[in-house]
Amino acid sequence: MNALRRLSNRHARAIFLDRHGLSDAPSGTDLSRIIGTLGFVQLDSINTVVRAHHMILHARRTSYRPAALHRLHDRDRGVFEHWTHDASMIDMAHFPHWRLRFRRNEARLAERWTKWGRDFASKLDEVQRRIADDGPCSSADVGLDEPRSSGGWWDWHPSKAALEYLWRTGHLSVTRRDAFRKVYDLTENVIPPEQLNAHRTQEETIDWACTFAIDRLGFATTGELAAFWDLITPAEAREWATRAIHDGDLIEAEIEQADGRWRTSLIRPATLDRPVPDIAPRLRILSPFDPALRDRKRAERLFGFHYRIEIFVPEAKRTYGYYVFPLLEGDRLVGRIDMKAERDADRLHVKALWPEAGVRFGKGRIARLERALARTARLADVSDVTFAPGWLRG
């Protein structure tokens, strides 16, 4: 048996970053093209500096400002909001493939939510009629006579649960967000006719999901292919990969990990034969939910970078801070920074920075960091950058 071809860790990191739009210096590339390249941008409500989706786009286009994404979604309909592995803004071209998710959600959610005793089914027609007659609404506009709760999703009032069910099954779509609260409308009023009237078979969606994932990841296991969109099952990804290997579209190769070990993944033969992509040496501040870091285990294997969100960890037990931002320089993750946009003081305040093991923040790197912080301050619409005493740790 022939030995598997190998990909060095440096080459693997370069491919992965290049496919995620992090190889070139951030430029004025069209926003819809950036999202088209990524496929989706994860949404997150935490607003320590700016929300995650804005950080993700700013890392790839430093001229980006939050209003641009709102225009692309609310007015231009270049993206739609729905679930991948989490709530995301997704390239509108992919909407027809979400019908598979809608179909699967219909059965899965109805069974699960009914089992939990959630009385949403009786409100479905009422909620749809309310929107058809009176226009878009949020969860605050329905079920006004129903008991309100300060609990989480498990304790929604029935009309709110109905709204969410109708959205997750494709009958409603998010037309905009007001103060980050979803505002729903009938799907035919939100999704452009070209995508609304397009239909894909299950086989076409599986092929698209796996093809898109391998082309964005560069190399992957079948589990990683399935998890990219969280739209298909691991079994469906395995069946697709078996056919792709048989047809010569994919091969197995060994990918060197940051710790020197080797891991077998699937890869396109042409990917192995291309030169190593050039990675700009720029220092970038990333969101913890950046597509390049969303898969924490993959990030640790490729970059030796262990990360976890500590917002739910009691302060005394945190290793770092409440919400720290990874620092990418070239093809290395060099540290993490705890900072906050204090808008009442008109400043971006750095509480602490922890370099990664073996990384030194000398004058040159600190100068690059200061430039990155100045760019982030402009994104957050504050004027100054300040540093707490003893901010540089380690």
> What residues does each domain of the chain span?
115-191, 283-387
Using CA atoms, how far apart are residues 214 and 206, in angstroms rounded to an integer?
12
Give, in words, the CATH class of 115-191: mainly alpha
Q: Is the C-alpha dihedral spanning 157, 48, 336, 23 positive or negative?
A: positive
Query: Which fold does the domain 283-387 belong to in CATH?
Result: Aminopeptidase (3.40.630)
What pLDDT sits at residue 114? 64
Give the residue ranges of the chain where pLDDT is below 70: 1, 28-29, 113-119, 143-156
The predicted pLDDT at position 266 comes to 98
Report pLDDT for 26.
Answer: 73
Residue 103 is predicted with a pLDDT of 95
Instruction: Write down the pLDDT at residue 145.
Output: 59
pLDDT tens digits, 88-139: 999 999 999 999 999 999 988 877 766 544 567 788 899 999 999 999 999 8
* Strands 79-83, 5-7: pairing kind: unpaired
Across the chain, mean pLDDT equals 93
Alpha-carbon distances, residue 124 vs 106, 142, 184, 227, 252 (angstroms): 13, 11, 13, 30, 48
Q: What is the pLDDT of residue 92?
A: 98
Predicted confidence (pLDDT) per residue in 277-289, tens digit: 999 999 999 999 9
Q: Estimate the crossing angle of helix 222-229 against helix 202-217, to 10 degrees.
A: 110
